Amino acid sequence: MVESSKVQKILYGGDYNPEQWPEDIWEEDMRLFKEAHIDIVTLNVFSWAQLQPSEDTYDFSKLDKIMELVQKNGLKVCMATSTAAHPAWMARKYPDILRTEKNGVKRKFGSRHNSCPNSPTYRKYASKLVEKLAERYKDYDNIVCWHISNEFGGECYCENCEKRFRSWVKDKYKTIEEVNRAWNMAFWGHTLYDFEDIVTPDLRSEEFEWDGIRTNFQGISLDYARFNSDSLLECFLLEKEILKKYTPDIPVTTNLMGMYKPLDYQKWAEYMDFVSWDNYPTYNAKPYEPALSHDLMRGCKNGKPFALMEQTPGVTNWHLYCSLKRPGVMRLYSYQAMAHGADTVMFFQMRRSIGACEKYHSAVIDHVGTSDTRVFREVSALGKELETIGSSILGARSKAEIAIVFDWDNWRAIDWSAGPSRLLNYCDQIKKYYYALWRNHYPVDIISVKDDLSKYKLVIAPMLYMCKKGYDQTIRSFVENGGTFVTTTFSGYVDDNDLVVTGGYPGKLKDILGIWVEELDALPPEEANSFIYKGTEYPAQVLCDVLHLRSANELAKYEKDFYAGAPVITVNAFGAGKAYYFATQSNDDFYKEFLSDICSECGVQPLLKCDEDLEVTERSNSNGDFLFVLNHSQEKKEFVLPYDACNLVTGTEYFKGKEIKISGKDAMILIKK
Amino acid sequence: MVESSKVQKILYGGDYNPEQWPEDIWEEDMRLFKEAHIDIVTLNVFSWAQLQPSEDTYDFSKLDKIMELVQKNGLKVCMATSTAAHPAWMARKYPDILRTEKNGVKRKFGSRHNSCPNSPTYRKYASKLVEKLAERYKDYDNIVCWHISNEFGGECYCENCEKRFRSWVKDKYKTIEEVNRAWNMAFWGHTLYDFEDIVTPDLRSEEFEWDGIRTNFQGISLDYARFNSDSLLECFLLEKEILKKYTPDIPVTTNLMGMYKPLDYQKWAEYMDFVSWDNYPTYNAKPYEPALSHDLMRGCKNGKPFALMEQTPGVTNWHLYCSLKRPGVMRLYSYQAMAHGADTVMFFQMRRSIGACEKYHSAVIDHVGTSDTRVFREVSALGKELETIGSSILGARSKAEIAIVFDWDNWRAIDWSAGPSRLLNYCDQIKKYYYALWRNHYPVDIISVKDDLSKYKLVIAPMLYMCKKGYDQTIRSFVENGGTFVTTTFSGYVDDNDLVVTGGYPGKLKDILGIWVEELDALPPEEANSFIYKGTEYPAQVLCDVLHLRSANELAKYEKDFYAGAPVITVNAFGAGKAYYFATQSNDDFYKEFLSDICSECGVQPLLKCDEDLEVTERSNSNGDFLFVLNHSQEKKEFVLPYDACNLVTGTEYFKGKEIKISGKDAMILIKK
Amino acid sequence: MVESSKVQKILYGGDYNPEQWPEDIWEEDMRLFKEAHIDIVTLNVFSWAQLQPSEDTYDFSKLDKIMELVQKNGLKVCMATSTAAHPAWMARKYPDILRTEKNGVKRKFGSRHNSCPNSPTYRKYASKLVEKLAERYKDYDNIVCWHISNEFGGECYCENCEKRFRSWVKDKYKTIEEVNRAWNMAFWGHTLYDFEDIVTPDLRSEEFEWDGIRTNFQGISLDYARFNSDSLLECFLLEKEILKKYTPDIPVTTNLMGMYKPLDYQKWAEYMDFVSWDNYPTYNAKPYEPALSHDLMRGCKNGKPFALMEQTPGVTNWHLYCSLKRPGVMRLYSYQAMAHGADTVMFFQMRRSIGACEKYHSAVIDHVGTSDTRVFREVSALGKELETIGSSILGARSKAEIAIVFDWDNWRAIDWSAGPSRLLNYCDQIKKYYYALWRNHYPVDIISVKDDLSKYKLVIAPMLYMCKKGYDQTIRSFVENGGTFVTTTFSGYVDDNDLVVTGGYPGKLKDILGIWVEELDALPPEEANSFIYKGTEYPAQVLCDVLHLRSANELAKYEKDFYAGAPVITVNAFGAGKAYYFATQSNDDFYKEFLSDICSECGVQPLLKCDEDLEVTERSNSNGDFLFVLNHSQEKKEFVLPYDACNLVTGTEYFKGKEIKISGKDAMILIKK
């Protein structure tokens, strides 16, 4: 990630907020960081109020002290810009800085991440602050990256945003006639005659009468989501430009949040020097879920290693039930991040706050204030391991032959769709397909619809409801050239504006798949159809297409209802490749079988053949090929090594065919000989 | 319904929105309509923005073209007035047209059915548009009816409505003292001294602190509901008057929605030339539910045949799970409408839209655009049948000896009541009693409290909580003259203003029923009492009256709790008739038994004795008596014909006593010989 | 409670609203009151609109009549001030009187208890009204107490409140730096530079993004709750001061509501002459729940007898399912109130209203209007019993050796905490410990953190999360001097501002308990750990501390998970006493065993050893010791008398050792010989 001569190892540290503490404990912090092998701190995340006590006053004295302190102690710095929470005086004096919520309620000062991205005040003073920061600290050679704002997010529906949305729409569509076409405004007589007629799509307008998820005009809501994401991205870019003026060589990032619907991270990542993100799996997350998020985040930047900017060393405070990370789990999750492409291991946070809403979120230094805690010991032990690992894996890349397509607009369009079923859940479908591959140890890339497919043997696009302009051709070429493509029910329906492609579903994918979907049946949760695949009966749930074969062949058919006998799995030979279609949704066992068969058929091999509780990935760079093996179970497991290798941390050497034992919750990196 | 020399058969067609499509497909639409035996289209439902592009401009050019097209193709027209969705420019320029929601939030442009009914702007421009439409199209002889606005509904709580509510209250009560009495304003010291003190009852005032259903002052909420219904009715009448000025002979309607609480359809129907309504049963509706809705809609206009204005040919998009209408079900539901009094079969919609919130609602012409779909084939086959049926059943009436009383104000008052139980559900109780009769093939009228009872042998008024002024006397006369009356727990409590009738429950019904209800026990859902009726034990749920016999006799008693032994079913001989009282709620089996016994006793016979999955109704006109038999199950069923008859569609003749087989989901009309 | 020469017996009566009725029934009311042995009525609760028909007019004519009527009929009066619902004209003319809700919505006229406590208009006119009332009625010698407003409650977030909150904060903290420290405003860069920067913590500010329960800055929310409680208390005191000016000898109260979070009743009670409260257990309340509420209310005023101001004679209308009080239960609950310190038995209400939201709440005189009802007969019979009891128990006190600590701020802080578990429920924990003692017949006081501990042998402070300034020292002294102290997981964490005490949990209680809690694990509802106590396995749920013994000993340990073997119950010998710690939550059986053992060990004896369904308390005064025995089951039970005694009502004498039978739902008072 942080490609810099300053960085020679996996950076290890996290958010540090000394300004929340009396200065007399700062030295103790330094001592404890050393004990924990910490080498980087993220500073200045929420200090705007301190740095700018009033409209005309700036005060960097405390930050100066902190910078001297951490430099003196040999710590690298991820330097935040403090623009994620505006000062109280600003909210009072310039209410335009406050957001208006989806229900029309104007916010007051409070909380965070609540500046209107289109507020002139916000942009003016954020720029001014960043300019001062960049100018003042540009020569500190321990600053390894800039961290703009924090967890950009949310939406605003204020009058400023409404005005700017009109401009955004005008820039995009040029004429009001084109807007009417794109949003299908003839429906319900919504035809516009002037850009001024456009209002924000919210609970006062097009999203009224629904359940807070769906909307009347998906086209407007989609464009507003794009506009909102772009507005926040503009704020990011405004700061980035200033930073680059002063420190062109220091990479710039902001911390992303995995599957976060409001921001199209695949677009954002284009503008970030490297991706960084915050990983907070819930208490009941399955191990493959953060794995998927890591792969998604890595995929946003074309596979480039990323930074794990935040994770909790022990407990996350905002979940419903804040269970402890069990012994070894913090290390296991840290290895999991590295296994999927992270080149840092960082925590939120270094010292646990004593007041406000994150005081029950754990930290490297707990409220007790000593190093005599389980969490500190685990942090320290991992720190030592990372020192041993050194620079070996830095920059190493994954090589996947399988890609799963993920698209933010598609996600939004499915969520906002008024029909066919409230059980539709795009991310869950992505998870189902991902999990089927993960548990069999196939490496996967999560890609966008802009990414090149030619390097993959197998491309899976679950519920590709929105097939964006040209993407059918991308898939067509891929399959024609020998690729294997898999898609599912509710694919190919609409264009970029959520307008249905007439002429029969799945729209422009019809020829590639060799089918025509005549009808789409939505089943309530208590009902299921079924089908038999390779002798086993599986459920057909949620959606069931009633389809007709054109050039495709049938691999399975429905067992029940009036469409009993109709095809439910099809395959179409197309050019040199094949296109599979799965006309419904099923259970995990099915996806596992189905994708294993397809992988075999297109010649994709798993990294290892071993227990499902073991997670296996591989990263490679000029130092070699690194095999990561993680045991997510509590029990000891074995696997057989496919080649000679050496444990990167312990130095133990193993020969091909060796049955290696790995303890419960343990993780290891093996370098191929 | 549409009593007109222009109409010689069951009209068959539906909503057609060519203005949402390029003109080059209009001719193809005409071809497909012909193929589907379509003979009517509803036009111009949502075209205001197109017809009036700005405050001073009207443009009828496209509608002119459409009218010429459909006339040329021999299609009749149900002509809508387009006032259900105001243009965007109007919302921008005249915000008074926008509603204020119950929570006080002012709406923006968006969605539909959101014009404030008391907006001067709305009324002015709606009138102006209708005048122009009537004037322009009055001479088209294929217009068979006017369709005002669309699915009138919702509420507004804006300042204009508040002002008009004050006038409405003043007109109704004359003095503020009378308002205080009617609303019991001495309670909680709410005494008003000026009409200006009146505010809308909403989440900012009397409905605060409750669950969004109940209210502090039921009297105010009831009057506001009446006012709101009246305000919308005024909008309807404003348009109707204009239309009648130009085309006095063309009947006028608007599409109702079955059990829709905000509008008192029994009052509305008085002002409509005929009733039309939109039938969208949910995916899990039982067959008797739409039957009840049809009977309710027919009853609003004293049994006059009605129009089925909308139904989906295949799938409804706004349900949680949009399951397909199975093969035959669209036809079955169409026959069900006719069986209960419909003289049209119409769809929403003719061609499926490609954008916005109804694109996953099915249509006669699907997104594929061809006639080669199951749905189209079923539509076309039914169209052909309807041609065969011709004019024979037009105008035919049902003859029921049983009536169930349904009252909108009673519904509202029960919903808003603060006590005795949140499990009270008026419509569910109506359904329970209706279902008991439906499954035994008794024809039923659903009547209002204004309707004459003398033509019935049995009148059932479940949970007649509000016994309006004079209605006790209506019932008293009915029973005295030999009628049989059935009512239940939570009846007779209050007057038209939801003020309790003192002197003991059930108020003015006490003498008729011969009982006094001392206490009313509400059971939580996990508890039940029980009673034995004719040797079988049934549950007593939700509410249990503790009552005393006066002149009545006991038919069953409670088995448990401190009121074990107290009467739970009573019957009172009163004049020449009888009055039954059921002091609790029970299960379907009980209602079936209980009502069968009562029917026998008062000499009411079912139309047929046959399987419960068969629905049976009869309609009669000068052409004869038509017996409708519908098989709602998947399996073939039999029934024995009680007289000689002939199948109206196939012409097959049957003799009395013949066991006729009817396939799963099939429907037939038999004309009595 | 009402210590006055005017009061010679348990006052018996309740809310009477003759102004809601025509005058011609008033005499009938008087007759029925006599029949029911009623001797007190609460008048004038909601009459502001009647007393002040306009800004400049007052009209006491009706109240004069009522006062004459009740005086003539020998009734005592609890005189309310009518300020709980402002008149409609006031809301219209002075909108500052209307509250602004937590979501920012400004209220309209409607409902009750909705005057902004900081409204200048409200305070001005409330004072003026009270002055007039006091002046006019001061010489009525049947007025036994003043009843200010009614059920004070709720919150306001308007601009007036915001301004006053700033002053309140300034008064409390003096400098903005101290505010920043107290609220930990350096977190998220919320540092304030001016008191004007302070805004109300609500859904527009710090409580945004949470679930309507939690908040971002607990310190602000805590202070706002204190401020709001204080603002309402100021309204109370404003009226009290005026009343005392005119009638210094008439005691003043207002009716409290048990566990009601917005108002800190322990603080309020200091300013009330006596405590009165309204007891409305829900349909499924367990018998110990109202017992606990009574003890809490009594404890607010250091054990002084209180008034049961309201209870329903039959049914409460605002519950979800309004089940009847079964025969005997009204009497049983009345005895329960007396058993816990009530010296009145009063009802809401005397005559059942016919309109608005409480018409289905029962009354002494029901809608039927006669005395011929079960409820009336029970009321009358109890009235007669109370006459027999006479003055004997007036002023009698309970003597408990066990105290449970209850603290309003602690409750709020736990509710608002962002972590560790949404399953945390302070009141439920209080109930668990109370129930364990109640079912074993130990008398308990519920005390505040200001109360003296020296009179107790055992003090239990479940989940004492907030250990206020000095309270650790209170506990320390108590234990050092031989007391036994019990506390639990999630105790000792924070100070009065919800700022964590650093140095290890449980903060300042560490030395007393002799432990250090390193980690706190929150379990989801579907998971549990376990431990063995005296041979029985019990579940460990919700929270599980991972703790280390310092000077304490372990009494039980976890059975599972990575902290298997770690202590879960500890005891620490400290000075002459002992301190127990329970590191998790368990089931009722455990608490019963655990507390029984501790009671034995510290020499606390139950009042009786008998069946768990019997409730037993004792009150003593100069007339003797009164043992209350209440049978909450339906079945007859027995108990053995520990001393000679006499039934206070029947006069029956019993000798020590006698096995006394008590019928289901019966209650008796035995006076010790």
The DSSP line for A635-658 is S-EEEE-SS-EEETTT--EE-TT-
Chain centre distance of CA C4: 24
Chain centre distance of CA B174: 33
pLDDT number for residue B237: 98
Distance CA C512, CA C570 (A): 12
- CA-nearest residue of chain A to B86? A189
Residue B487 sits at the vertex; the CA angle it makes with B486 and B488, to the nearest 5 degrees, is 140
Are the CB atoms for C206 and C192 separated by under 8 Å? no
Q: Which residues in chain A are closer than 8 Å to B50, comparing Cβ atoms?
A: 186, 189, 191
pLDDT number for residue A490: 98
pLDDT number for residue C113: 82
Cβ-nearest to C504 among A49, A284, A368: A368
Looking only at the bridges linking them, the beta strands covering A659-662 and C577-582 are: unpaired
ipTM of the complex: 0.96
Tokens of C301: 């005023």
Exposure string over A27-37, b if 16+ CB within 10 A, otherwise e: eebbebbeebb
Burial class (CB in 10 A: 0-12, 13-18, 19+), A484: buried
* Residue extents of the structural domains in chain C: 11-156+232-325+342-368, 159-222, 402-602, 614-672
Are the CB atoms for B264 and B299 separated by under 8 Å? no
List, in order, residues 6 or more apart from C75 with CB less than 8 Å away. C13, C33, C38, C39, C40, C41, C142
pLDDT band at C97 (very low <50, low <70, confident <90, very high): very high
Q: What's chain C's Rg over C-alpha atoms?
A: 26
Q: Which residues in chain C are closer than 8 Å to A112, comparing Cβ atoms?
A: 188-189, 216
Tokens 């204080």 correspond to C230
Chain centre distance of CA C453: 20
Helices then strands, counting H and E runs in chain A, come out as: 17, 27
Distance CA B33, CA B346 (A): 13
Distance CA C116, CA C159 (A): 10
Pairs across A and B, CB distance < 8 A: 183
Check pLDDT > 70 for residue B263. yes
pLDDT number for residue C209: 73
Best C21, C97, C322, C361 residue to mutate vs chain B (most B CBs within 10 Å):
C322
Q: What is the mean pLDDT of chain C?
A: 97
Task: Please judge whether A356 and C188 are an interchain contact, meaning their C-beta atoms are less than 8 angstroms apart.
Answer: yes
Are the CB atoms for A426 and A442 separated by under 8 Å? no
Tokens of A566: 């109709």
Are the CB atoms for A336 and A291 separated by under 8 Å? yes
Check pLDDT > 90 for residue B113. no
In this structure, which amino acid lies at residue C359?
A: K
pLDDT band at B2 (very low <50, low <70, confident <90, very high): low
pLDDT band at B78 (very low <50, low <70, confident <90, very high): very high
Looking only at the bridges linking them, the beta strands covering A40-43 and A76-80 are: parallel
Instruction: Tell me if residue C151 is catalytic.
Output: yes
Residues of B annotated catalytic, as ranges: 151, 310
User: Average pLDDT, stretch A586-606?
Assistant: 98
Distance CA A310, CA A333 (A): 12
Pairs across A and C, CB distance < 8 A: 184
**Residue A262 host element (H or E):** none
pLDDT band at B1 (very low <50, low <70, confident <90, very high): low
Are the CB atoms for B543 and B420 separated by under 8 Å? yes
Check pLDDT > 70 for residue C1. no
**Class (C level, CATH) for C11-156+232-325+342-368:** alpha beta
pLDDT number for residue C340: 98
pLDDT number for residue B145: 97
pLDDT number for residue C214: 86
Q: What is the pLDDT of residues A71-80, one digit of tens each?
A: 999 999 999 9
Cα distances (Å, whole numbers) of residue B114 to A210, A341, A400, A417, B43: 14, 52, 53, 21, 21
Q: What is the mean pLDDT of chain B?
A: 97
Residue C260 sits at the vertex; the CA angle it makes with C257 and C266, to the nearest 5 degrees, is 85
Q: What is the pLDDT of residues A98-115, one digit of tens each?
A: 999 999 999 999 998 889
Q: CATH assignment of C402-602?
A: 3.40.50.880
pTM over 0.90: yes
User: Average pLDDT, stretch A445-465?
Assistant: 98
Distance CA B30, CA B41 (A): 11
Check pLDDT > 90 for residue C114. no
Q: What is the pLDDT of residues B513-538, one digit of tens each?
A: 999 999 999 999 999 999 999 999 99
Distance CA C655, CA C645 (A): 6
Is A467 part of any known ligand binding site? Answer: no
Are the CB atoms for B205 and B104 separated by under 8 Å? no
Give me the catalytic one of C19, C151, C385, C618: C151
In this structure, which amino acid lies at residue C55?
A: E
Task: Please judge whether C318 and B522 are an interchain contact, meaning their C-beta atoms are less than 8 angstroms apart.
Answer: no
pLDDT number for residue A207: 87
- CA-nearest residue of chain C to A99? C204
Q: Which residues in chain C are closer than 8 Å to A358, comparing Cβ atoms?
A: 187, 418
Neighbouring C-beta atoms of residue B445, cutoff 10 Å: 22
Task: Please judge whether A186 and B112 are an interchain contact, meaning their C-beta atoms are less than 8 angstroms apart.
Answer: no
pLDDT number for residue A249: 96
Is B116 part of any known ligand binding site? Answer: yes
The candidate with the shortest Cα–Cα distance to A545, out of A521, A525, A562, is: A521
Q: What is the pLDDT of residues B592-639, one digit of tens each?
A: 999 999 999 999 999 999 999 999 999 999 999 999 999 999 999 999
Q: What is the pLDDT of residues B546-573, one digit of tens each?
A: 999 999 999 999 999 999 999 999 999 9
pLDDT number for residue A213: 80
Percent of chain B with pLDDT over 70: 100
User: Average pLDDT, stretch C441-459?
Assistant: 98
User: Average pLDDT, stretch A338-355?
Assistant: 97
Cβ-nearest to A419 among B47, B322, B369: B322
Distance CA C342, CA C310 (A): 12
The candidate with the shortest Cα–Cα distance to C141, out of C75, C58, C219, C215, is: C75
Q: What is the pLDDT of residues A304-319, one digit of tens each?
A: 999 999 999 999 999 9
Cβ-nearest to A188 among B46, B107, B374: B46
- CA-nearest residue of chain B to A499? B355
- Strand, coil or helix: B135: helix
Percent of chain A with pLDDT over 90: 97
**Does domain C614-672 match CATH 3.20.20.30?**
no
Burial class (CB in 10 A: 0-12, 13-18, 19+), B335: buried
Q: Where are the alpha helices (DSSP H) in A206-318?
A: 218-246, 265-271, 288-300
- Strand, coil or helix: A96: helix
Q: What is the pLDDT of residues C616-632, one digit of tens each?
A: 999 999 999 999 999 99
